[in-house]
Structure 1
């Protein structure tokens, strides 16, 4: 393994023995191989760690498994993964999502050609049977702070690749919608994201997931806005737009 691979893939997991194998295989089957895998297990009590070790034994890709002794939450787990990584760019993935096989090579080429700090892409939505049920599409191009605020969160965490140096300055906070909170923070400090038009990943939408509760999600989004000094009236207006957006989705 290279001392400094181009990508470090930070995969966080908790009690995911049913899905972690498919998720890991979608990483290991990438057409681009200059990466390492950092799996952070957030104190699973099922067979998750055994499944991880089984899959990683079958590959020559450099890997590390970090096992937390307490359930610390996804923000702490991701930050542990970042601090344990050695790549120049960090890619993220949750334990039930999948990548398309050309994800990393496409993002690598975009980064090299455009000299961008972080990139993300459009993605598919699948159900718990791994059947595609929808898409998440936003217009490609650069996204600065105001666009992240006005247009809502266009970023699927499972599609993100971001320069490690940025993440060492701005960590995930232990708040709800921690990913959106981070995108606003780094864009507020001048780091524009670049949205790639391609669909590069598959997000598993679960009926029991926290994000499926639209009222809670809207309130958490409101709190994110307020944390970033967006006025109360504007925040409420944006939440109303959020609801209109969500209700217009078929999936």
Structure 2
């Protein structure tokens, strides 16, 4: 137990214009039953009262950095990674809530599984008022995932950590050379987790340790993010497809009906929102991955199905990954 207490944690909070929720987010970190941590906060040139709210907290574990020029979400986190001194680094968001046992559970998990490159935990989703909008339910994801399993579950469910606030890196194992690609708008986290999974075991903590807040002002809710998700997501899923050990004859079907159909839907949203230039670019990108006519017909078939029929068919296709 003494060894566990000696493990220091760095909590990295990157924020821009977060005055509405950041106080409750910081309070949840400071209320942890595990005390040996540093809370590094980088304000990405906020134009609201975020800095004033942060400065109301008087705790020696808090280190505040103010950026004079916006670094972007992933650039801001990279800045914090360069400052972190903890063996375990836990990413955090200004609008989420940590349960009191969050850090202690993560530290214990990494102590018991000392070979991990990273871990992620589970949690409920809440709205602007803090009410639960989606309660997490166990989906069968194993405790430890090698590259093959990580790829299968990522292709089935998307980015395994639903939020960056659920992820911890073990820098004792992976070193200090893993950073986000700053040019990414949305999938910088998915890309980094995948890069780590290519070299290290990933751990999954099935306990609910966080509440993740969804609200309309988030970047992932912007219209243009649909195009970014396609541009950034396809190369990542192509990498994942290389690591799954399934019959080669099944891979085109899996790719079309699990992965590309998701991105096709994103592109169609661009059409509905009259973002025609992005729509055309998205169609061209998808046409490099598959026959666009067959992909369109698959999309039509899926749209004609009821929700239950769609989910049943999807389970049938994804089950091929686990046979």
- Scaled by the length of structure 2, the TM-score of the pair is 0.67
Please identify the structure whose Cα radius of gyration is greater.
2
Report matched runs for 1:1-251 at 5 Å: 6-55=8-57, 57=58, 59-60=59-60, 62-117=61-116, 118-137=118-137, 138=139, 139-152=141-154, 153-155=159-161, 156-165=163-172, 166=174, 168-174=176-182, 175=184, 176-189=186-199, 191-212=200-221, 215-216=226-227, 218-219=229-230, 220-226=232-238, 228=239, 230=241, 233=252, 235-240=255-260
User: 1:160, CA displacement in angstroms?
Assistant: 1.3
Aligned partners of 2:88 and 2:107 also within 8 Å: no
Q: Label 1:102 to 1:217 Cα distance change in 2 as closer, same or farther (>3 A).
A: farther
Tell me whether 151-160 or 102-111 shows the greater mean CA deviation.
151-160
Q: Label 1:167 to 1:239 Cα distance change in 2 as closer, same or farther (>3 A).
A: farther
User: 1:194, CA displacement in angstroms?
Assistant: 0.6
Aligned partners of 1:222 and 1:235 also within 8 Å: no
More strand, by proportion: 1
- Aligned-partner Cα distance in 2 for 1:236–1:173: 27
Tell me whether 135-144 or 214-223 shows the greater mean CA deviation.
214-223
User: 1:135, CA displacement in angstroms?
Assistant: 2.8
The number of equivalent residue pairs is: 239
Structure 1 residues without counterparts, runs of 5 or longer: none
Higher RCO (CA 8 Å, separation ≥ 6 residues):
1
List per-residue Cα deviations over 1:87-112 (Å, max 9, x = no partner): 11100111111111100111111111
SS of the counterpart of 1:106? helix
Tell me whether 75-84 or 128-137 shows the greater mean CA deviation.
128-137
User: 1:216, CA displacement in angstroms?
Assistant: 4.0
User: 1:142, CA displacement in angstroms?
Assistant: 1.1
User: 1:48, CA displacement in angstroms?
Assistant: 0.5
List per-residue Cα deviations over 1:107-133 (Å, max 9, x = no partner): 111111221422211111000111111
Aligned partners of 1:26 and 1:101 also within 8 Å: yes
- Scaled by the length of structure 1, the TM-score of the pair is 0.85
Structure 2 residues without counterparts, runs of 5 or longer: 1-5, 243-250, 266-301, 312-323
Q: Label 1:167 to 1:69 Cα distance change in 2 as closer, same or farther (>3 A).
A: farther
User: 1:163, CA displacement in angstroms?
Assistant: 1.5
- Aligned-partner Cα distance in 2 for 1:110–1:229: 26
More helix, by proportion: 2
- Aligned-partner Cα distance in 1 for 2:234–2:43: 30
- Aligned-partner Cα distance in 1 for 2:215–2:235: 24
Aligned partners of 1:222 and 1:236 also within 8 Å: no
Aligned partners of 1:82 and 1:164 also within 8 Å: no
Aligned partners of 2:7 and 2:107 also within 8 Å: no
